[in-house]
Structure 1
Amino acid sequence: MPTSSPEPRTAAPLAADLRLSISKLLRRLREQAGPNDLTTAQKSVLLRLDRDGPATVSALARAESVRPQSMRVTVAALEKMKAIHGKPDPNDGRQTLVDLTPGFRKALNANRAAKEDWLSQAIAAQLSPEEQRVLAAAVPLLQRLAEF
């Protein structure tokens, strides 16, 4: 934990520079994946299912802080795209668990691999070994900011 707050004159320009740099980097990473027709809500659900495993529509709605009706619309669209599928909950047959389809999981992993490959090549080509060490040291700081 930091012991004191940085000067506002220092933090504000740093925040602006960081936002612009991260935005540009994210755009470049998205370019590596090709066209993407998913909404933000759909991406969020897919990433949650990938990270946390199968879930009911109501559990997804709670986790995403949306109404169950809205989540049903999102889930239906993802099912239509064959990104997810439903199966009976082994603990409660009245419930349906949704999960990523094997084909979508494979595409998701390939998408991530393409982005990480591009970023790895960019780091190796653009940053000196010392700059790579500085970047590695900054990763935990970026993670802390992301979790704030």
Structure 2
Amino acid sequence: MDDAPDNHLASVLAQDLRACLGKLKRRLREQAHSGDLTPSQTSVLLRLEKDGPATASQLARAEAMRPQSMASVVAALEALNLVSGAPHPTDGRQTLLSLTDSCRQRLREGRAARQDWLTRIIQTRLSRQEQAELATSVALLKRLIDD
């Protein structure tokens, strides 16, 4: 058997995989009931959750946004009580932004909703054999993304 890579097959697999994962991502996003948050707002929330408190200028750099654009994102998140500001401990001219407790709860609930939905779909739509095949496929996907 020839183990040489099949460029056409790899290309078709890549296209199908991107389309499938994109659709899965959209379905998972629907389950989280994230409301009317824009992708930029969601990205800022996830960055604050991962990296901790930051100034608007730090967020703008990290998100490759203009400071004016970040200011409108932050204002919207503050209006929704998802982020709050406190004086920067070493630079009183700046505000340190962090997630509110209600935002942290919302993120936890969103993740739980996505996990529950995906677990239920796997259990109800796939046989035990198919679940085992999916486990093998997930292992292969991990190999694609791990360094």
Is TM-score (shorter-chain normalized) higher than 0.5?
yes
Match of 1:10 in 2: 9
Instruction: Say how many residue pairs are matched.
Output: 141
Aligned-residue sequence identity (percent) comes to 50
CA distance in 2, matches of 1:77, 1:88: 19
What is the SS of the residue equivalent to 1:25? helix
What is the SS of the residue equivalent to 2:106? helix
Q: Which moved more, 1:77-86 or 1:114-123?
A: 114-123
Counterpart amino acid of residue 36 in structure 1: G
Unpaired segments ≥5 residues, structure 2:
none
Which stretches of structure 1, 4 residues or longer, exceed 4 Å deviation after superposition?
Answer: none
What is the SS of the residue equivalent to 1:94? coil
Counterpart amino acid of residue 133 in structure 2: E
Deviation at 1:11, TM superposition (A): 1.9
Counterpart amino acid of residue 133 in structure 1: A
- TM-score (normalised: structure 1): 0.84
CA distance in 2, matches of 1:106, 1:139: 30
Kindly name which structure, 1 or 2, has the bigger radius of gyration based on alpha carbons. 2
Counterpart amino acid of residue 19 in structure 1: R
Contact in 1 for aligned 2:34/2:110 (Cα 8 Å): no
Deviations along 1:70-108, one digit per CA (max 9) or x if unpaired, are 111111111111111101122322221111111111011
Which of 116, 129, 132 pairs up with 1:130? 132
Structure 1 residues 24 and 48: alpha-carbon distance in aligned structure 2, compared to 1, 3 A threshold: same
- TM-score (normalised: structure 2): 0.84
Contact in 2 for aligned 1:123/1:132 (Cα 8 Å): no
Contact in 1 for aligned 2:88/2:95 (Cα 8 Å): yes
Structure 1 residues 113 and 143: alpha-carbon distance in aligned structure 2, compared to 1, 3 A threshold: farther
Match of 1:22 in 2: 21
Match of 1:102 in 2: 101
Unpaired segments ≥5 residues, structure 1:
none
Deviation at 1:36, TM superposition (A): 2.1
Structure 1 residues 6 and 48: alpha-carbon distance in aligned structure 2, compared to 1, 3 A threshold: farther
What is the SS of the residue equivalent to 1:97? strand
Q: Does 1:114 align with 2:113?
A: yes
Q: Which moved more, 1:69-78 or 1:32-41?
A: 32-41
What is the SS of the residue equivalent to 2:93? strand
CA distance in 1, matches of 2:127, 2:141: 15
Match of 1:59 in 2: 58
